[in-house]
Amino acid sequence: MNHNTRLEDVFGNGGLLSRNVTSFEHRDSQLKMAEMVTAAFAEDHFCAVEAGTGTGKSFAYLVPAMLWCSNPEHADESVIVATSTINLQHQLVDKDLPFLKKALNLPLSYELLKGRSNYLCLRKLYEELREGPLLDTDSDDSSFSSGLTYLLGWAKRTRTGMLSEVEKPIDRQLSGRVCSDSDTCMKNRCPFREGCFVLQARKRAAEANIVIINHHLLFADILMREHEGIGADEQAILPPYDRLIIDEAHNIEKNATNYYTETFESLAAVRHLNDLHHLKFGMPRGIAVRLLPFMEKGNTLESFIAAGDRVRKAIDELDIQLYGLSGYAGGGSIRFTSGPSGLPADVLSPVVEAALLLSVELLHMQKECGSLAGLCRENEDSTPLLLELQSIARRFGKASDILVRFREVDELRHLIFWLEPVSFSRGRGSARMHITPVSVSHELFTHVFAANRTVICTSATLSAGSDFSFWEKQVGLFGHDDNRYFRERFSSPFDFTSQMLLGIPSDAPAPSEVLLYKSFVCDFTGKLILSSEGGTLVLFTSYALLREVGEYLTGVLKDQDIHIFKQGEMDRSKLLAEFIADEKSVLLATESFWEGVDAPGNTLRSVVITRIPFRVPTDPVVSARYDAVKESGGNPFTEMSLPEAALKLKQGFGRLLRHRNDRGGVFILDSRILHKYYGKVLLKSLPAARLEVREADSLLDSFENFLFADINADQIPSRHKKTLQP
């Protein structure tokens, strides 16, 4: 194949994919999507492509990108593919790209590039081995040094230096100490630059035709170019590029918001102070102490230590004032503003004053770090220490800058000030202090769309109903109806009416009837799990309800050989792997599990959506964004809350069918979907499955009939036979 290959010859009936993939079936939607992507490359378009489950969207953008790169005229170009999740990155790099490269027989290269902190820094590793821990650690010395020795051996074997590939678990503090970071990287002056994993990974990425990254790295590159004045035709973190594919694009705004959020955390400031100077068994330790031999005789650390003590005192004072907010937390984050949705002035002001005082002390400390660095001779031995010192000094400066802006919480209307409590006890509070932009649409439009020639944004959920406007407003594309921007929806090729029953129990109490509703969810979910013999994913919007339902199910199902997994019991990927491996198990989960659970085949036979996934209006970022819509004369419910819930509902709904042969039921236990005017809007946003609205018991009987319709009578589990219709 070559760059002139027709897409029909790849995706069509009898085409390359049908000859090479056993289960491949021609899908019109896949071919059309590939044609749209090809046109976007050739004619410099931005595209928003919603592709339902089963479209095969990764092939539909990878093949056009590969054909584009194989054209000798584009030999110098890099195509960037950014995803939101690690799982998708690995699917692209480990499965899709190797397969397509072989099948298309194209001389192309691709590379997975991660953020710097994912790679081992050889200089830091050798530094730690030579000197012992450069910074103080809580880990015991023997596990720390055995970890270092192990990493030394691993560093000689690994090709990538990615710490996620280390074969055995290593101490988290240790990996934090030896991972690369931009503040302390010596770059061209580094004696280890020849073997440096970060530089090698970036070099390979610069030479690759296709580079796979995550959304976060896309923004890190954008910010680096902006701050350091690096031109579009030069390498920053990424090679120069102007063709960009963003998969899982429904998350691009959320990831940009996280990236542009700035945070002060007093615990981190204390950790940095300890890194610089602290006492262990009465003996002074830390970077400053280790720099003493490089200073002229007669110099002391007196004023440096005094400045550090003043910062600690100011942190104490801030913690005392933060305790005054304990009554406003209500178990969640606090919007830090005055006015109707904010805090009384007598609660706000003491915190602001304490934050300002700390801000001043942090600036003094930054200056002290600068003075200390100025007193030290710079040589091979002192340079790593000086780099750490300067890195911490910069962080103090940044922290000071964040805190000082809390003085203007009511003036800086484009920013949201909010606190995330860590603990309130014994008269002291501890909280992360965040500043988040009200909107990131300008940044996204300017740096992602306007800066590139081709941008493909794709996901299974970009539109509510058929309306893209919510997502378009988030990313700055709304109203951009010129001849460069195109949007399209490609429906899933699955036959939802025969593969899926969408059940809504008509006798479910409203969620506002808290006790009745809770008891209904427990009872219905328990019976459903028995009906489908496990294989059930239960999606919650609140962790409290998850816990209560979990306790109930553990009790009623204890003799049924059905394992109940609960979110939080183990890390996400392990939890999913165990759930998928056990076809009779049940998974109870919230938030992030509404998407990214990919359990094809018989693993998943039923999905329960306990509540319509409206965002919590008391969340500070949500509440500030609602206020902004109101102030501009809009309706936050119809413009934000409803479309956002529709997208999330569609994500949850999409968990069930991952393959043409999958079959099962999705059950929505929130009666508002039947009785409120917006229920119709939400239902319309879902693919048209076989909808059944009945009383709970009748619905469960109907589901059993549906689920076992094609199964021989002797294969039906005995407990179901009594309910099945002849």
Minimum Å distance from CB 124 to ligand SF4? 6
Chain Cα centroid distance, residue 526: 31
Smaller CB separation from ligand SF4, 103 or 206: 206
- Cβ 220 to ligand SF4 shortest distance, Å: 15
Please state the closest distance from residue 375 (CB atom) to ligand SF4, in A.
24
- Please identify, using beta-carbon distances, which residue of 179 and 403 lies nearer to ligand SF4: 179
- The reply on whether position 180 binds ligand SF4 by CB under 6 A is yes
Q: Among residues 197 and 579, whose Cβ is nearest to ligand SF4? A: 197
SS3 content of the chain, % helix, strand, coil (to 5): 50, 15, 35
- Among 147-155, 195-203, 212-220, 674-682, the segment contacting ligand SF4 (CB under 6 A): 195-203
d(CA 83, CA 343): 38
For position 198 contacting ligand SF4 by CB under 6 A, the verdict is: yes
Tokens representing 279 are 């006492």
Stretch that binds ligand SF4, among 116-124, 397-405, 555-563, 581-589 (CB under 6 A): 116-124
Q: Which stretch binds ligand SF4 (CB under 6 A): 137-145, 183-191, 575-583, 714-722?
A: 183-191
**Residue among 247 and 388 whose Cβ is closer to ligand SF4:** 388
Q: Which of residues 180 and 610 has its CB atom nearest to ligand SF4 in the complex?
A: 180
Largest alpha-carbon pair distance within the chain?
A: 97
Report the residue number, 185 or 315, with the smaller CB distance to ligand SF4.
185
Q: Which is nearer to ligand SF4, 193 or 398 (CB)?
A: 193
451 neighbors 240 (Cβ within 8 angstroms):
no
Window 60-89: contact mask with ligand SF4 (x via CB under 6 A): ------------------------------
196 contributes a contact to ligand SF4 by CB under 6 A = yes
Give the whole-angstrom CA distance, residue 693 versus residue 709.
Answer: 19
- CB-based contact 642:464 (threshold 8 Å): yes
CA distance 143 to 139: 7
> CB of residue 197 vs ligand SF4: minimum separation in angstroms?
7
The CB-of-361 to ligand SF4 minimum distance in angstroms stands at 30
Closer residue to ligand SF4 in complex, CB, 187/254:
187
For 135, which DSSP code? S
Taking the complex as a whole, the smallest distance from the CB of residue 138 to ligand SF4 amounts, in Å, to 24
Q: Compare residues 197 and 336 and give the one whose CB is closer to ligand SF4.
A: 197
Rounded to an integer, what distance in angstroms lies between the CA atom of residue 659 and that of residue 396? Answer: 52
**510 secondary structure, DSSP code:** P
Q: Does 186 bind ligand SF4 (CB under 6 A)?
A: yes
Beta carbon nearer to ligand SF4, 201 or 681: 201
Distance CA 150, CA 239 (A): 33
Provide, rounded to whole angstroms, the least separation between the CB of residue 118 and ligand SF4. 11
Phi and psi angles of residue 77, each rounded to the nearest 5 degrees, phi first:
-85, 150
Q: Report in angstroms how near the CB of residue 277 gets to ligand SF4 at its nearest.
A: 24
Residue closer to ligand SF4, measured from CB, 178 or 696:
178
- Determine the Cα–Cα distance for residues 401 and 173; give it in Å rounded to an integer: 27
What values do phi and psi take at 464, rounded to 5? -100, 115
Interface stretch with ligand SF4, choices 52-60, 178-186, 291-299, 432-440 (CB under 6 A):
178-186
Of 155 and 329, the one with the shorter C-beta distance to ligand SF4 is: 155
The structure tokens listed for 222 are: 């954008």
Q: Which is nearer to ligand SF4, 191 or 617 (CB)?
A: 191
| Nearest-angstrom CA–CA distance, 695 and 371 | 75
In which element (H, E) is residue 43 found?
A: helix 28-43
Site string for ligand SF4, 564-583 (x = CB under 6 A): --------------------
Q: Is the distance from CB of 419 to CB of 337 less than 8 angstroms?
A: no
Q: From 117-125, 238-246, 336-344, 415-423, give the range in contact with ligand SF4 by CB under 6 A.
A: 117-125
Q: Which CB sits closer to ligand SF4, 129 or 674?
A: 129
Q: How far apart, in whole angstroms, are the C-alpha atoms of residue 372 and residue 640?
A: 51
CA-based nearest residue to 400, from 309, 286, 302, 314? 314
Interaction with ligand SF4 in 439-458: which residues (CB under 6 A)? none
Question: The tokens 């690369």 sit on which residue?
Answer: 180
Q: Which amino acid is at 716?
A: I
Q: Is 190 in the site for ligand SF4 (CB under 6 A)?
A: yes
Q: Which stretch binds ligand SF4 (CB under 6 A): 100-108, 187-195, 480-488, 670-678?
A: 187-195
Q: Map the footprint of ligand SF4 across residues 297-356, applying CB under 6 A.
A: none
Report CA dihedral (149, 154, 155, 160) to the nearest 10 degrees: -150
- Report if residue 122 touches ligand SF4, rule: CB under 6 A: yes
Compute the least distance from the CB of residue 133 to ligand SF4, in Å: 17
Helix (H) or strand (E) segment spanning residue 572: helix 572-581
CB of 226 to ligand SF4, least distance (A): 22
Which of 123, 243, 277, 672 lies at the binding interface for ligand SF4 (CB under 6 A)?
Answer: 123
Binding to ligand SF4 (CB under 6 A): which residues in 199-228?
Answer: 199
What is the Cβ-side half-sphere exposure of residue 322, based on CA atoms within 13 angstroms?
A: 26
Give which of 80, 86, 47 is closest to 62, Cα–Cα: 80
Rounded Cα–Cα distance for residues 690 and 315 (Å): 59
| Stretch binding ligand SF4 (CB under 6 A), from 8-16, 73-81, 192-200, 536-544 | 192-200
Spatial distance between the Cα atoms of 498 and 689, rounded to a whole number of angstroms: 7
User: Near ligand SF4 by CB under 6 A, which window of 186-194, 390-398, 457-465, 485-493?
Assistant: 186-194
Nearer to ligand SF4, 185 or 553 (CB): 185
C-alpha span between 430 and 323 (Å, rounded): 8
In angstroms, rounded to a whole number, what is the distance separating the alpha carbons of residues 614 and 602? 30
Nearest residue (CB) to ligand SF4, 196 versus 252:
196
Q: Is 554 helix (H, G, I), strand (E, B) or coil?
A: helix
Looking only at residues 695 through 714 of this chain, which bind ligand SF4 when binding is defined by CB under 6 A?
none
Q: How far is the CB of 116 from ligand SF4 (least distance, A)?
A: 7
Q: Identify the three-state secondary structure at position 294.
A: helix
Q: Which is nearest to 422 in space by CA: 540, 353, 361, 334?
A: 334
What does the block give as tokens for 60? 């539909």
End-to-end CA distance of the chain: 55
Min dist CB 187 to ligand SF4, Å, is 6
# residues near ligand SF4 by CB under 6 A: 13
Q: How far is the CB of 183 from ligand SF4 (least distance, A)?
A: 10
- Looking at the Cβ atoms of 36 and 198, the one nearer to ligand SF4 is 198
Residue 642 near ligand SF4 by CB under 6 A: no
C-alpha closest to that of 429 among 313, 311, 618, 266: 266
Q: Is 657 exposed, middle or buried (0-12, 13-18, 19+ CB in 10 A)?
A: buried
The answer to the question of residue 187 lying near ligand SF4 (CB under 6 A) is yes
**What DSSP string runs through 656-667?**
S--STT--EEEE
The two beta strands, 415-425 and 428-437, are antiparallel
Q: Site mask, ligand SF4, residues 454-483, x = CB under 6 A?
A: ------------------------------
C-beta separation of 506 from 575 below 8 A:
no
121 interacts with ligand SF4 by CB under 6 A: yes
Contacts with ligand SF4 by CB under 6 A lie at: 121-123, 180, 185-187, 190, 192-193, 196, 198-199
